[in-house]
Amino acid sequence: DAGITQSPRHKVTETGTPVTLRCHQTENHRYMYWYRQDPGHGLRLIHYSYGVKDTDKGEVSDGYSVSRSKTEDFLLTLESATSSQTSVYFCAIIASGVRDTQYFGPGTRLTVL
Amino acid sequence: QQQVKQSPQSLIVQKGGISIINCAYENTAFDYFPWYQQFPGKGPALLIAIRPDVSEKKEGRFTISFNKSAKQFSLHIMDSQPGDSATYFCAASSNTDKLIFGTGTRLQVFP
């Protein structure tokens, strides 16, 4: 699992509430990514980071924000959760020195009621 | 929108048979093509990857075939086993550190 943990692993919340998901890595990897996985859509990139305080938008960034104040933590925030954000969220890293090869965390299953 | 199109959506194969999953892309700048395997409740894990300077790469029972002119690549699983039952994703990237994923193929291998 390349030293990646995600928390929480499961969360049920209500529409309109803020939600923050955490990705934590222990090996000082520079590149970190947030994806969502939905049936029929595969994995879609939400946001990514090239380093501390260096983030950018992915394919499906609307409704999401991220922060990276420390190398080891990449936070994904849903400011006001909607039912369309019910999904499984995966964090990934690129292992230093191994171009393009992404390693994924175990995922967070989020349900927005 | 850069896309990677994957087929079939689902695949049922008998134990010992060959599983074949296909992907097609349009962006000729793509230069890295990995396949990921995902078991239920787990994150995707890199299975095998190829770069366009070769037409085939084999690792054990898993082979990637790459056709640059047709802009297609495929995963072949020889002697498929029940333990291979999983969802498989193809992907592509173009030196941007961002992967574009296919929509996935659910493989079921029956004894």
Mean pLDDT of B62-68: 96
B6 part of contact set with chain A, CB < 8 Å: yes
Instruction: Identify from B3, B23, B46, B47 which residue to disrupt to test chain A contact, counting A C-beta atoms within 10 A and taking the largest count.
Output: B46
CB spacing of A100 vs B103 below 8 angstroms? no
**Over the stretch B16-60, which tens digit does the pLDDT of each residue have?**
999 999 999 999 999 999 999 999 999 999 999 999 899 999 999
Among B32, B43, B97, whose Cβ lies nearest the Cβ of A31?
B97
Tell me, what's the pLDDT at A98? 64
Among A40, A58, A99, whose Cβ lies nearest the Cβ of B103?
A40
Q: Which backbone phi and psi does B31 adopt, to 5 degrees?
A: -140, 15
Tell me, what's the pLDDT at A40? 86
**Over the stretch A26-81, which tens digit does the pLDDT of each residue have?**
988 899 999 999 988 899 999 999 999 999 999 999 999 999 999 999 999 999 99
Angle at B39 between CA A46 and CA B60, to 5 degrees: 110
CB spacing of B99 vs A104 below 8 angstroms? no
Whether B1 has a pLDDT exceeding 60, the answer reads no
CB spacing of A99 vs B46 below 8 angstroms? no
Distance from CA of A29 to the nearest CA of B (A): 13
Write the secondary structure of chain A as one string of H (helix), E (strand) and C (coil). Answer: CCCEEEECCEEEECCCCCEEEEEEECCCCCEEEEEEEECCCEEEEEEEEEECCEEEECCCCCCEEEEEEECCEEEEEECCCCHHHCEEEEEEEECCCCCCCEEECCCEEEEEC
Among B9, B46, B89, whose Cβ lies nearest the Cβ of A43?
B89
Reported confidence tier of residue B94, pLDDT bands at 50, 70, 90? confident
Largest Cα–Cα separation, chain B: 42
Computed over every residue of chain B, the mean pLDDT equals 94
Distances (CA, A) of A51 to A72, A73, B4, B45, B60: 10, 10, 27, 23, 36
Reported confidence tier of residue A97, pLDDT bands at 50, 70, 90? low
CB spacing of B97 vs A41 below 8 angstroms? no
Q: Where are the beta strands (DSSP E) in chain B?
A: 4-7, 10-14, 19-25, 33-38, 45-50, 56-59, 62-67, 72-77, 86-92, 100-101, 105-110
